Amino acid sequence: MKFEAPIPVAAIAQLTGAEVIGNDDAVVLGINEIHNVNLGDITFVDHEKYYDFTLKSAATFILINKKVEAPEGKTLLFHSNPFEAYSTIAKKYKPELFSTKNIADSAVIGSNTFIHPNACIGEKVVIGDHCVIHANATIYPYTQIGNNVIIHANATVGADAFYYKKQKTHYDKMHSAGRVVIADDVEVGAGSTIDAGVSSDTFIGMGTKLDSQVHIGHDVKIGEHCILAAQVGIAGNTKVGNGVTLYGKVAVNKNIEIGDGAVVMAMSAVPNNIEGGKTYIGYPVVEARTFARQVAIIKKLPELWEKLKRL
């Protein structure tokens, strides 16, 4: 998430109670968790295992719970609880918004867009022209929807990211500072759910079609003209290329990439990156041709076992 205007790092330190290590005259341009950081962003790290990775990341500002020397070009903010400090910043500059109306006063609705009864359109939502929002669909605050988009009944767009930090007795929730952005000509099936980004945008590309009961996790980026059949689930921060087809009940892991034009057959699981232009099947997935050979060999195992017993 980029701030509306640059913020002095001294102001961030004052807000969170952090100690600045390095250039205290620098300005912060945005806030992002580690998978999406850019130059000028602030992020956090609170585990020694990830210190080196975070300190070498693109982030310019890092909330950290250990006093170390700031690498060249970076400013550190020492805090005993970086997760809490990060959430404080997110809540300050992307506050949760509430509305007492089905269509919030600050929502912007394009021409020839029809909103069915009982749909809920949150604060600062923008919906383009020639869209249809069906009954009981819920569009959370800050969501951006393009033109010619159809959101079917009971779909939920922009719910909080499923992002928690485990403590000894409970889980601390990360405040969702990202949005959902839906491009033109997208269709979202009935009962589908698209989570907002933790700090960047969850994005659905132009012409992509989601069947009913599809779940898209936080910060997922889906390309153009993809087809996602019923009960597909994609975990957070995964990137799906253009023209990808995921058939029913495909499960996709977090933080991975699916290449352009990939096809994944029903009830398969994608745990790691897969190349585009190929068809996959299985749990975990392999190329369909490999899977066919494996099945052929498995079918022969009883016969081979009988031969072995006779030796």
Residue with tokens 């031969």: 307
> Cα separations (Å) of 172 from 83, 163, 167, 169, 310?
9, 9, 7, 10, 62
Catalytic annotation present for 170: no
Q: Are 214 and 226 in contact (CB under 8 A)?
A: no
- 305 Cβ contact list (under 8 Å, min separation 6): none
DSSP string covering 99-133, please?
A: -SSSB-TT-EE-TT-EE-TT-EE-TT-EE-SS-EE
**Any alpha helices (H) in the chain, and if so which ranges?**
9-16, 51-55, 82-93, 288-310
Q: Which two tokens stand for residue 163?
A: 């992002």
Active-site pick, 79, 152, 218, 225: 218
Tokens 């022969």 identify what position? 300
Indicate the length of the chain as a whole number.
311
What is the sign of the dihedral through the CA atoms of 82, 87, 93 and 94?
positive
Tell me the catalytic residues: 218
